Each structure stands twice: as C-alpha cells, then as structure tokens.
Chains A and B, each alone.
Chain A
Amino acid sequence: MGEVKYDNVTKEPFRPSMKSIIKKLFHFHAGLIVLGIYSSFMYHHDFVVLDTSAPDSTFFSLWVRQAFNNIAICTLFQVYLSVLLIPESLIANFLYNVEVIEVLHNPVFSSTSVSEFWGKKWNLVIHGMLKV
C-alpha cells in the first residue's frame, strides 16, 4: 500500500535519501517496542478495556465507556498501521528508488475537526482513491 510522492514543481518523484532510510529504520524498531507493550495490554483485556454490557448502566456512563474503549482500540489501529507500513515504504525505496507518501499523520491525537481527520490525517492512500 503506497502512493508515490511527487515534487509539485518538477513533477518528478522524490528519491529516498540514506538519512530518511535510517530514520525509518529507527522509527520502525522504536515503534515495534511501543506497539508490543501497548498491544500486550490490549490483548490482555481482549481488546475491550471497560465493560459495556452492564444492564443497569445509564446512557451517559455507557457513552463515556464506549468512547474510552473506542479511543483505546483506535489508537492501537493507528499504531499498527503507522508502524507496520514502514517496511512497505522501505521496500518501495529499495526496489523502485521512489519515496512514498506517509499514510497516517497521528490522526487520533492531532485532528481538530472530523473533516481534517478523514481528509488530511487518516489513510491518505484511500483518500486519494476516493476523491479528485
């Protein structure tokens, strides 16, 4: 999964530099440690941290608990994608000598609107596919 990154002025694809490859390798290994710790925590809870099946819960408490669970699993999904897509971009670097776009830009913790979340932060490859 990847989309080639082009220079806006010259319309040529960006070439990967040694610095960016080393940076990606560092991010991959550091990210794998973070992902290991966080996903172990989530796995221990069967990926649902707070119980939402209690029959006596009010609407508000259910709302808050579901939001908490969903933020936790969405963060896991984000870390999954951003860490495990680094090797794929490295494959593109080595095989085709092109730079590919970053798929995620920390959507859960840095978006300030829902349209920014979907349009500029989350899965930009699919975004390029669906919109002109």
Chain B
Amino acid sequence: MIVHHWFNTCKRGVFKPARRYMSSKMAVVWTFLVSGIIHEWILTVLLMSKNKYTCDNGTPMLQCITRNIHLNQTKFFTWHGIVVGLESVLFKMKYVKQFREKSPAWVLTLLIWLLMFPCAHWYFDDYIESGFFHHGQLGIPTLILE
C-alpha cells in the first residue's frame, strides 16, 4: 500500500539517518525539529496563516511567504524535543523515580501541563489565524445563543 511505503520512507528518511550520526537522545530532538519544519511548511504555505492579509495587494506569492515566516512551529517542536530528551535523563534518577511512583497520576498530568501548555500558542495560533477551526465549525452542529 502507498501508506506503508510512506511509513518506511519516513523511518529511513528521518530517524535512522539521524541515529547514524548522533546519540538516540539527539535523534529524538532532531525528529521533533523535522516535525516542526513540516508543520511550518503546512501552516505557512498550505494554510496561509501569516500572509493572508499581505498577499492581497499584488505582491508576488513567494515574497509574502518568505517575509512572513516566524518559525513558531519550529520553536514549539524544538522545545518539546528538548523536554523529551531531558525526561529520558531525569527519569533514570532515583528521587525522580520515587516521586513518580508515589504521586497520583493527576499530579503528574498537572505538572506536565505547566511544562507543555504555556508555550503551546506557538502551535495553535497559526491554526486559529488561518481559520482552520472557524472553517471546521461549518461541519459540526453549532448552538447559537443570542
């Protein structure tokens, strides 16, 4: 199937070559960085999030795109790659292991919310600006309260 071919391409194209040149932790960060670059391309070029206003007045397409890349997606995914790399180091420590075993799941969930979500607008702002959710609302039953 085409899908299977694509899976193998990505495995061979992203994680395995990275593993050849660096440690597995760095390969994880690299894989996150590649995710960031792919999202950057999807949101800047396909969903046209940043350049929807500046492209109206006849400026060439390529110029609007390059002018409006702010690398937010790359920032977001690099941050998450670093956090995942740090976790793999921290979770081997004795006290961290004990803390994770003793504390209930909701405490750990709250703690990772504090790590993940304060900078998640780097990821979601592009979706909101590009009208992804606004357009998606057309296909969903909506309540209108006046």
Which residues of A are interface residues toward B (Cβ below 8 A)? 2-3, 32-33, 35-37, 39-40, 42-44, 46-48, 52, 63, 66-67, 69-71, 73-74, 76-77, 80, 109-115, 117-118, 126, 128-132
Across-interface contacts of A47 in B (CB, < 8 A): 128, 133-134
* With A39-B137, A40-B142: A115-B128 Cβ-Cβ less than 8 Å: no
- Residue contacts A-B, CB under 8 angstroms, 26 given: A2-B3, A36-B141, A37-B143, A43-B134, A44-B145, A48-B128, A66-B119, A66-B120, A67-B113, A70-B117, A70-B118, A71-B117, A73-B120, A73-B128, A74-B120, A76-B133, A112-B108, A112-B109, A113-B100, A113-B112, A114-B80, A114-B84, A130-B14, A130-B15, A130-B34, A131-B31
Query: In whole angstroms, what is the CA distance A112 to B87 when docked?
Result: 11
Residue B93 at the chain A interface, CB threshold 8 Å: no
A39's nearest neighbour on chain B, judged by CB, is: B140
Q: Give which listed residue, B3, B15, B80, B124, contacts A74 with CB less than 8 A.
A: B124
Interface SS of chain B = helix
Residue B52 at the chain A interface, CB threshold 8 Å: no
Across-interface contacts of B145 in A (CB, < 8 A): 44
Question: Are the C-beta atoms of A66 and B118 separated by less than 8 Å?
Answer: yes
**Binary flags per residue of B1-44, CB closer than 8 Å to A gives 1, else 0:** 00100110011001110000000000000010011000000000
Across-interface contacts of A52 in B (CB, < 8 A): 121
Question: Are the C-beta atoms of B112 and A117 separated by less than 8 Å?
Answer: yes
Query: In whole angstroms, what is the CA distance A35 to B140 when docked?
Result: 8
Across-interface contacts of B108 in A (CB, < 8 A): 112-113
